[in-house]
Chain A
Amino acid sequence: MSSFLQQVINGLSIGSVYALMAVGYSLVYSIMNFSNFAHGGVIMLGAYIGLYALSLLSLPFVAALVVAAFGAGLIAVVLEKIAYSPLRRRNAPGLYFIISAMGASIFLENFVVATIGPTFRTYPQIFDSKPFMIGDIALGRIDVLMFVISAISLGILMFIIEKTKVGLAIRATSYSAKGSAFMGVNVDWIIFVIFILGGMLAGVAGMLFGMRYTVYPQIGIITNKSFIAAVFGGLGSLPGAVVGSILLGLIETFASVAGYSTYRDLIAFALLILILVVRPTGLMGKATEDKA
């Protein structure tokens, strides 16, 4: 029983970080109707920013986390300006955005390989590796931290989306950009906001992943999982992205426990194909014709 609970916590912890990344996909998809495959690059850069904020600048953990969040948010906005904004002005089809996103993703990865180098780097040890003990349940400190920080970040995002004026405008624009423009919403501003929000969460996720595992230029590939989670939950739906991520985290964890850890990715991608065949809108997604 105790090991079962332990695994649930592990699953929640990994799932919550997937959720941080998945909401980034969903935010962009809900407004712009394409999957931003450069999101992994932003997460990777967030991981490096967090690493250097800790090791070179010797910032305390929370400060480094904030720096990673803002740094990644800024990168996401610049990326939008360079890779997507010109396409938007020309009303280019969704496929062009995806190709541009993939190009940007490859560029960022290789840019880091060429400048920082391809080697694996580890975060300095900040937290005691000794687990928390609750009764006879052992909880890794970093796992608990990942879950808590992710939950707080997602809570802030949900507050912005549900309770603020800009959040209302984001929800309105996700239904009809034209309707929003008629109400005086500057859609460029909304796109700026979703990229900065998605980017900041990506920075947090990158730093958490970096701490849990290691940092390397291809770490962005982890976003494949959060993309699957976003599709699973329903692209464009934020609650869907969170639910899909948590489920995927739990499924993966229990697959590992059952002795199928080498099948973990296989299971995740099988799930993606299954969802696309059986229920393309995911658990909570909006129905659109063109899922680009």
Chain B
Amino acid sequence: MLKVEDLNVYYGGIHALRGVSIDVEQGQIVTIIGSNGAGKSSLLNAISGMIKYNGLIEYENKTLPHHAHKVVKSGICQVPEGRVIFANLTVHENLKMGAYLRNDLKKIQEDFERVYELFPRLKEREKQIAGTLSGGEQQMLAMGRGLMSAPELILLDEPSLGLAPLLINTIFEIILEIKAMGKTILLVEQNAFKALSIADKAYVLEQGQITAQGSASELLKDETIQEAYLGKKNK
């Protein structure tokens, strides 16, 4: 579904992504794990067309346009790190912004209902200004807003960031529910254990390079990965 080949990203003199290649298959959860500054967000932002890059990004066998709004139009939506919700708008208006490129009013209405079903908290706060929501609610709003664009592929950037452990569990359950809706998910996470436990496939990104890949269950058992990312000591 999504194929990234030999992707390079530079920020000024910094070589942030060095020849990254990944493959995402339809209906899967693919996760990219790695420490802070490894280039995980850069990878997602390159796919979203938000930053300049060299290399090939193909989506359903077509080269992905290099403009953010055209990427959304082709069916890819990012739920960005730090949520980036519109704090000045109501919850409902935020969701409406998610459907900005769509004109199928009837389907939009159905998606509103689906999102409110998935996140009952948002329904309760429909008319509330989004800036007054708690961190967890804002994360739900960002995910709901992403779903409103009716994407095939969802890029999730650090959905658990800054949330309480109990809430993190909820968010990961919701990610599985979104997968069950038939969506494909590319998940970037620092919480490697959580990410690997729900993913089908995983890549490890270190200093802009893919250093390991495989099925998520394999990587979960891999000793070097356990030591580096899962906090286990094997000796």
Contact = CB atoms under 8 A, between A and B. Distances in A.
A79 interface: no
Nearest to B72: A184
Interface string B79-108: 010001111110001001110110000000
Contacts of B73: 184
A168 interface: yes
Q: How large is the interface on A (under 10, 10 to 19, 20 to 34, 35 or more residues)?
A: 10 to 19
B80 to A, nearest CB: 6
A180 B88 contact: no
Contacts of B85: 179
Contacts, number: 62
A182 interface: yes
Given A168-B93, A174-B88, A183 B145 contact: yes
Nearest to B74: A184
A176 to B, nearest CB: 6
Interface string A161-187: 000010011011011101111111110
B100 A165 contact: yes
A181 B69 contact: yes
Q: Which 10 A-B pairs have the closest CB atoms?
A: A184-B72, A179-B84, A184-B101, A181-B68, A186-B69, A175-B88, A172-B86, A184-B69, A175-B86, A183-B97
Interface in A175-217: 175-176, 178-186
Given A182-B80, A185-B69, A168 B48 contact: no
Contacts of A184: 68-69, 71-73, 100-101, 149
B100 A182 contact: no
Contacts of B96: 168
Interface of A: 165, 168-169, 171-172, 174-176, 178-186
A182 B86 contact: no
A168 B87 contact: no
B97 A180 contact: yes
A184 B148 CA distance: 12
B50 A176 contact: no
B78 interface: yes
Contacts of A180: 97
Given A182-B80, A185-B69, 5 more contacts: A169-B97, A172-B93, A183-B97, A184-B73, A186-B69
Given A181-B69, A182-B78, A184-B72, A176 B86 contact: yes
Nearest to B79: A182
A172 B88 CA distance: 8
A168 B50 contact: no
Contacts of A186: 67, 69
Given A168-B89, A172-B86, A175-B86, A183 B100 contact: yes
A182 B89 contact: no
B68 A182 contact: yes
Contacts of A172: 86, 89, 93, 97
